[in-house]
Amino acid sequence: MLENITVLTAETFQSYTANRFCLVLVFRRQCPHCRVLMAVVDKCRPLCPDLAVAGVDADDSPGILASTGVTRVPTVLIYRDGGVSASRSGVMNASELLALIASSSA
């Protein structure tokens, strides 16, 4: 699961999210709900071929949490045109995640 996504750092976060339509999953390695959401993201990826997927390890990158205002994991941030267009904390099922992604273009 984790091996399937690019893990962003303070050095790469800004440039990655600046010009991409992308999903950023904020997670902790020992968080069970994060593993569930990673599996859900994996399942949804083929349905969203234009969506890039990356992760942020909350323990390794507290600065990113501070700058994005994320306090809980897992949290999903959807970026469009350099800004957060949709976000949600907590576990979601596949249909809820797809709805969140769809809402980001509304």
Partner 1 sequence: MSHMGSGERDLIVVGGGIAGMTATIYAARAALDVVMLEKEVCGGLANSSWNIENFPSYRSVPGLELMQRIRSHVESYQVAIEEVTEVTHIRVESRRTLIETPSGQYAAKAVIVATGASPIRLPIESDCGERVHYCSLCDGPAYKGRDVIVVGGGNTGFDESVSLVNLGVRSVVIVECMSMCRAEQSIQKQAFSTGRITARTESRLNAVIPHADRVLVTIEHLRSGLIDEVVADGVFVFIGQKPNTSMLEDNVGLDKAGYVIADALMHTNRPGVFAAGDVVAKRYRQLTTAMADGTIAALEAARCLRGR
Binding stretches for partner 1 (CB under 8 A): 28, 30-36, 39-40, 42-43, 58-59, 71-74, 89, 91, 93-95
**Which token pair is 6?**
């690019």
Q: Closer to partner 1 by CB, 32 or 82: give it.
A: 32
Q: Closer to partner 1 by CB, 52 or 94: give it.
A: 94
Q: How far is the CB of 17 from partner 1 (least distance, A)?
A: 22
Q: How far is the CB of 91 from partner 1 (least distance, A)?
A: 8
Q: How far is the CB of 5 from partner 1 (least distance, A)?
A: 15
Measured CA to CA, the distance from residue 94 to residue 92 in angstroms comes to: 7
Q: Closer to partner 1 by CB, 16 or 24: give it.
A: 24
